Amino acid sequence: MGLNKLIKQCAKNDRKAQEEIYQLFAGKLFSICLKYSKNKQEAQDNFQDGFVTIFNKIGQFKFKGSFEGWLKRIMVNTILLKYRQKNVLNIVVTEEIPDEVIVDVDDEEISLDFLLNLIQELPDRYRMVFNLYVLDGYSHKEISKMLCIAEGTSKSNLARARAILKNKIELHQEEQQSV
């Protein structure tokens, strides 16, 4: 069955079509959930909530643009809505931090799993801004609207996230060199 037909069948609550859509996109969408979540359990919860939202809204897909892009946007927005409802993103900016912090990894191989774990350990507000800006390419203006924060707060949160990651990577490098 073609993708367009699957989408139309999903809009009619066809369980078989929903299962096929799930099988086709589960891996990519779960990886998004891992990026935006503190841990695997939270990622699984976000993943489930996101798919519920996807299947509830699939009738709104207009067959313009990428279906995968639409799915990803629904998943990210579902996760961000949960965080906004928890009020974890409301912070006060008290100081300016340089916009760019560069991490030098000294030509050392750092595994993707290690980096993902470091990102997951970031405080929620920093993790959200870091992922939206660095990994998903949103501007600070777009992030400020998505998270209901000031642009300056977005920039500050990104700088703090980068500084935390830089410190953790440097600490990891020092530990590896002393072994």
Number of other CB atoms surrounding residue 14 within 10 Å: 15
> In the prediction, which pLDDT does 68 show?
95
Q: Which residues contact 148 (CB under 8 A, 6 or more apart)?
A: 84, 89, 90
> In the prediction, which pLDDT does 93 show?
43
Query: What is the pTM for the complete model shown?
Result: 0.71
Residue boundaries of the structural domains of the chain:
3-86, 112-177
100 with 111: CB under 8 angstroms? no
> In the prediction, which pLDDT does 108 show?
54
3-86 classified as CATH 1.10.1740.10: yes
CA–CA distance, 75 with 62 (Å, rounded to integer): 17
Q: What is the DSSP letter of 74?
A: H
* CATH fold label, 112-177: Arc Repressor Mutant, subunit A (1.10.10)
Residues of the chain with pLDDT under 50: 88-107
pLDDT digits (tens, 9 = 90+) for 141-162: 999 998 889 999 999 999 999 9
CA–CA distance, 166 with 102 (Å, rounded to integer): 8
pLDDT digits (tens, 9 = 90+) for 35-49: 998 889 999 999 999
Q: Which residues contact 173 (CB under 8 A, 6 or more apart)?
A: 105, 106, 108
99 phi and psi, to 5 degrees?
A: -65, -30
